[in-house]
Amino acid sequence: MPSIDGKRFLASLHALGECGALEGGGVNRLALTDADKSGRDWAVNRMRELDMDVTIDAIGNIVAVYRGTEELPPVMTGSHIDTVRTGGLYDGNYGVLAGLEVIATLRDRGIRSRRPIAVAVFTNEEGARFQPDMMGSLVYVGDLPLEQALTTQDAEGRTVGEELERIGYRGHEAVGSPRVDHFVELHIEQGPVLHRRGIPVGVVEGVQGISWTEFTFEGVSNHAGTTPMELRSDAGYVAACLTTFAHDLALGYGGRQIATVGSVRLTPNLVNVIPNRAVVTVDLRNTDAQALERAEREVLAFAMQAAQTQKVTCRHRSLARFDPVAFDASVVDLVAREAERLGLNVLRMPSGAGHDAQMLARVCPTGMIFVPSIDGLSHNVREDTAPDDLIQGTQLLLQILLRLANRPS
């Protein structure tokens, strides 16, 4: 088996990390911003240097294909290069650049696999600016209509379509092309499990279900000093109650129930004015589909009840909703086998974060590889992974891609 060039690979992570770099470390490359464009330009340039055939589809997904010896559907890897506003160097970027390092290694040695190998950069995986998350891959697999994705607005009212056009990434390739033979995504774990246990590879068995809901509470703004407590319609108070309710509900369910209120926007947001409006997001996740549904019902019932008690109106809309996903058993086993071949201990585990792989799993056999995140930090500028773990993960990806791409029909 050829070995990847660890030094070149690590340098590529830092080079891409310059696009949208934050002072003091980390990256802000929110989807379809100028920084995202600079990251995309960097990636496309690298793909062309590697003589890959690069296409951009109508939702801005970039797919680069390294030709095989036969014209068959490609084995695909890849991930995303958009980040949250306070992102690190590795979330998503690691999977894309590892894919390109695999291609660079094969090309250096003149190796062509039987099937082509494709590296994809999917649009707006994070969902931090435009919801839902995993937007590009969801359109790719045909489960979000292109028009609906293109007309999605950010908080300032700019649409995905306008922003794609503005940065020059509204492509012409038909969405969903090429048809994918297998998909394998390499990603940092983004949680503490592997690092705490000193295990270098996570064999990902699936992804937990994800439910994002936005609640809008509307009451009456009034003077903070003169309005008696019992005469208030305080939207901010209802938002606070919902926050503690969701947190306590997750603790009460135990196991794998997760709840996060990550965004609360109060209007008018002033020290001496009772808020008349609060817009709150609730992120619920669970590997158990039924428990997730129960949590959603309880959160909704609480929000309505709390609003009514405080004489506040309540509206809600779903921002994203994905059931738990189980990856293909043969790909999961292949990841474990190849890791063991490299002498690496593995842990079979679910993914807590959402990934493009969970969408590709709808159309082809799919799996994922995790490497440890130091102290489990992610969506944080201090996100980090040991260089040896990054390099081993990429070598493992190379072996898995070659096995899949060279297998007989």
Site string for ligand GLV, 115-154 (x = CB under 6 A): -----------x------x---------------------
- Tokens matching residue 179: 């048809």
- Give helix then strand counts, H and E, for the chain: 12, 13
∠ at Cα 401 (103, 146), nearest 5°? 85
Q: For residues 99 and 352, which CB has a smaller minimum distance to ligand GLV in the complex?
A: 352
Site string for ligand GLV, 169-208 (x = CB under 6 A): ----------------------------------------
Contact partner, 354, from ligand GLV, Mn ion, none, Cβ < 5-8 Å per class? ligand GLV
378 vs 362: CA distance, rounded Å? 26
Binding mask 80-109 for Mn ion (x = CB under 5 A): -----------xx-----------------
Residue 95 near which of ligand GLV, Mn ion, none (CB within 5-8 Å, type-dependent): none
Residue 61 Ramachandran class (φ > 0 left, ψ -120 to 50 alpha, else beta): beta
Determine the Cα–Cα distance for residues 223 and 204; give it in Å rounded to an integer: 53
Please state the closest distance from residue 353 (CB atom) to Mn ion, in A.
Answer: 6
The answer to whether residue 353 forms part of the interface with ligand GLV (CB under 6 A) is: yes
Q: Residue 92 binds which entry of ligand GLV, Mn ion, none, with Cβ cut-offs from 5 to 8 Å by kind? A: Mn ion
What b-and-e string marks burial along 355-387, b requiring 16 or more CB atoms within 10 Å of the CB? bbbbbbbebbbbbbbbbbbeebbbbbbebbbee
In sequence order, the 6+-apart residues with CB closer than 8 A to the CB of 270 are none
Contact letters for ligand GLV, residues 298-317 (x by CB under 6 A): --------------------
Q: Is 205 helix (H, G, I), strand (E, B) or coil?
A: strand
Residue closer to ligand GLV by CB (options 339, 353) is 353
Looking at beta carbons only, is 91 or 338 nearer to Mn ion? 91
Inter-residue contact 181 to 343 (CB < 8 Å): no
**Residue ranges in contact with ligand GLV by CB under 6 A:** 126, 133, 353-354
**Residue ranges in contact with Mn ion by CB under 5 A:** 91-92
